[in-house]
Structure 1
Amino acid sequence: MITGVIFFALALKDLLAEAADPASPLWGVPLGGFWITVFYGGVALYLLSVGGCAYLALRSVRWPLLVGVLVLAGLAPLAAPLPELVALGVLALVVLAVVTAETLSEDGRRRQVRQLALAEQYAAEQEQSRWRREHL
C-alpha cells in the first residue's frame, strides 16, 4: 500500500514539475512508458493492496477494486502517448468510478460496523459507570 502511494506521489511530483515549466506545452508532454507505469501502476498497486486488506479482514473479494486494477492496466498503454494532464484526468475518472462502485456495493456494511462500534462503546461506558458506582 505504501509503495503504491510512493509511486503515485513520485509520478505526480514529476508531472507537476513538467506542467509548471513555462517551456512545456499547455497540457504537458506525453508521459511515456516508464512514467505511465509508475503513475498508473502506483494507483493500481494501492487499489490491489486495499482489496487485499479487505480480503484479509472480511474474507470477501472487493470486485470494484480488482476491476479498477484491470482497467488501469488496460488503459496504461493507451494513456502513455496522451499529454500529462489528460493522462491525470483519465486516471482521476477511473479512480472516481472505482470509489463510486465500491461505495455503492458495500450493502450496508459500513452502517453495521458503525452500529457495532457504537454498541461496544455503549457497553464499555455502562461498565465504567457500574465500576464508578461501586468503587468511588
Structure 2
Amino acid sequence: MMKDQLIEEAKQIRENAHVPYSKFRVGAALLTKSGKVYKGCNIENAAYSVSCCAERVAIFKAISAGDTEFKEIAVAADTKRPVPPCGSCRQVMSEFFDGSVNIHLSNLNADTKTITMEELLPFSFKLSDLDKKEN
C-alpha cells in the first residue's frame, strides 16, 4: 500500500469520529507487516479522561485481533499543519512500534510529514525500564 492510500484511509475513517465536545475529528490507518489495515477514529466521552484517540483505537484493534507487527501508520485531521499525535498516543506507539516504523502525519490540505517512531519519541519509556535491579 502506498503512503497516499494509507493517508486517504485515515481521512475517510475520521468521518466516523464521535466528537460531540471538541468537534475535532481525527482518523488513523495502521498498516501491519502482513498487509492488513486497521483503522481508528477518536471517540470522546463526557468524562474526557476516558476518551480515546484515533491512533490508539487503530493500534488496540490490531492488537486485539492478534496483529502485533506494524509497518506504518497515517494520521489525519483538519489542522493547519500535519497533525501530530498527543503524548499518550506517542507512548502507546512506542510500546508497539519499533524505531523504524514510519508515521505519516497529514491534514486535509494534503500537507504531509513522515517521521519514524524514533524521531517522534526519542528516549521513550520502554518495558526494559521496568526491569528491577537488585542491589
Normalising by structure 1, report the TM-score.
0.24
- Flag the structure with more relative contact order, 1 or 2, with Cα contacts below 8 A and sequence separation at least 6: 1
Larger radius of gyration between Structure 1 and Structure 2: 1
Of Structure 1 and Structure 2, which has the larger fraction of its residues in strand? 2
Normalising by structure 2, report the TM-score.
0.24
